[in-house]
Structure 1
């Protein structure tokens, strides 16, 4: 990637509407048609919302790479920028075409959260905890149930008592156990954080439709899902995003390097999670050999990120609260927790995103 810093900054946006406009323009400049799936609600500024899909390569390509953004709404500022960079990268486009690898760009999996600067969908659901057969019992998370009242407290900022309850849990069970209890996914507290829902969300149903339409003819499927919020600032952790399968992990590390981490062996900065989105690759694209990662870019320290989420949920639970200094402070903190708006950060994000996409194309190439 030889783009200069000003050019890279141009791939990024300051609002969802701007990000969508840039993605549509980037796809058009690359000669790609866009299929838009309109969301039933409007955005923060009254704008139309949609999950937009652009495909480079034939519909019947044997190898397909998916690059997706905004699973967690507000994280789309980063993911959209990487997608625009890839669409503008003629060397990457040529590499994929020559290798016979089609590339599917899915922009704004969760457009409502992107527009409203929320991590959740309009149903207040974490899309990456929403992938279940809801006719069956849902996973238990007794740790979250025990701490729910303190995770999203009655007052903000949190009281000393609320913070003490979380500290005491970590002292008894360990910091990683506290992280798992908070972020692993929960299905009992609809006004809490990391809530996985009781039904499929609009984003879940729409993405299933996209996969059924676009990814059922390939025999090899790669997926890079772009995220922010965990790890050192600017570092893109490559987190294994498949079922706990040794062969799939070996493929992921062959493609993206031995630094690929896993929630299954504790090497990832992420806690073990349930209801993960990548499981759709197994259910909707069972004909394909699937290999995927979540490319997780660091922003702020873990505690600060969780504090931002707790505050944002406290605010969400109080729609009657007007435009106050506290609201603005919480919203600004939320944005900073998932989007670092500096040229240096954006440069690193694009470099690592383009590298990962090129490695995926190489891995998906025939004979690999």
Structure 2
């Protein structure tokens, strides 16, 4: 597979995606973001549907829920648009494929994981009319995660290592990444209102998902696990039937390739405010089956340190441009391995997962 579908900027990625859609004879719909990108470019969630409006089965393939992770996801999506065998199989099975390119275009363009509201989109799908959950473990380490100085002082580093030694690295990951709603200048902040991206996702689901009987969703991510390995993390409620269906589609002969946050088999911690919840909420008539396809990049400690540095920089707008750019480059490198070998691994697994989803929906 060609790695030419990957890009170095959001603008390049968007142009390649839209060109692939046009070459396939497909229309695109742009949900325009209120802000501009780092090159002054228009930002948008672009939606392309390959299949009839009344299809009984729909496969969603989405990228850039966490902005900078879109460099990977966009390359996979553009490749899928060019996959003639996938398109034939979908048409023959009555499956429509819906591409959501750049759910968080602002983070994609600016090399950040968060939205322009500094919110983690995949922690933002809460019922904001109700009290928000309190992450007390995060409360205890918030001052260590994003300290007053960067790099962290020896005292902060020592306190961090002491906490990890006492509680364990998995507990650190869970406390940090599970989602929190009381530190708006901290990490994995879920917000107090639906973000622009949140609202756009729900609108797309209402526009395209309310006529089908079966809805599948592959959400493309990076940053967890061994380099180049695409972990297939179940994206749904703690439902044995749905997990079994996902394992039948994507899990291989022994059904172990699908991991779950509910049984501890995933590299991901238990999370709150997840985006997949919008699927059943907006399309309650459909049977829902989803995964997050999570590609590994660098060790988790490097990923978290990149995010810590990025949030510290965001909290200090007075930083010199060259220092800010070095931190942003650190973030992009943590979520996008810019080598042909890594990209080939990513494409092979992404294409396989899409074909398996179409076969599962057809069955």
TM above 0.5, yes or no, is yes
Q: Which residue of 1 aligns with 2:329?
A: 332
Equivalent residues in 2 for 1:175-190, closer than 5 Å: 175-190=169-184
Distance in 2 between the 1:266 and 1:132 partners?
Answer: 23
2:282 maps to 284
Separation (CA, whole Å) in 2 of partners of 1:171 and 1:245: 34
Which one of 139, 143, 157 corresponds to residue 133 of structure 2?
139
Q: TM-score scaled to structure 1, two decimals?
A: 0.96
1:212-231 alignment, distance < 5 Å: 212-231=206-225
On the 8 A contact 2:238/2:262 being kept in 1, the answer is yes
Alignment check: 8 A CA contact 2:112 2:328 kept: no
TM-aligned CA deviation for residue 263 of structure 1:
0.4
CA contact (8 A) 2:205 2:283 kept: yes
Q: For 1:55-74, what aligned pairs fall within 5 Å after superposition? A: 55-74=49-68
TM superposition score normalised by structure 2:
0.98
Q: Can you list the C-alpha shifts for 1:187-227, whole angstroms capped at 9, x where unaligned? A: 00000010000000000001100100000010001000000
Unaligned runs of 5+ in 2: none
- 1:160 and 1:143 map into 2 onto residues whose CA distance is 22
- Partners of 1:95 and 1:176 lie apart in 2 by 41
Q: Tell me if the contact between 1:166 and 1:178 (Cα under 8 Å) persists in the aligned partners.
A: no
Contiguous gaps of at least 5 residues in structure 1? none
Q: Which of 293, 310, 313 in structure 1 is aligned with 2:311? A: 313
Question: 1:333: how far off?
Answer: 1.1
Q: Deviations over 1:70-104 (max 9, x none)?
A: 00000000000000000011111111111110000
Question: Secondary structure in 2 aligned to 1:190?
Answer: coil
Written as runs of structure 1 = structure 2, the 5 A alignment for 1:187-336 is 187-257=181-251, 258=255, 259-324=257-322, 326-336=323-333
CA contact (8 A) 1:61 1:102 kept: yes
CA distance in structure 2 between the aligned counterparts of 1:285 and 1:167, rounded to whole angstroms: 45
Alpha-carbon distance in 2 for matches of 1:84, 1:28:
11
Determine helix, strand or coil for the equivalent of 2:103.
Answer: coil
What residue number does 1:119 align with?
Answer: 113
Give the aligned length.
Answer: 359
On the 8 A contact 1:74/1:118 being kept in 2, the answer is yes
- Asked whether the equivalents of residues 17 and 115 of structure 1 are also in contact (C-alpha less than 8 Å), the reply is yes
SS in 2 for 1:278: helix
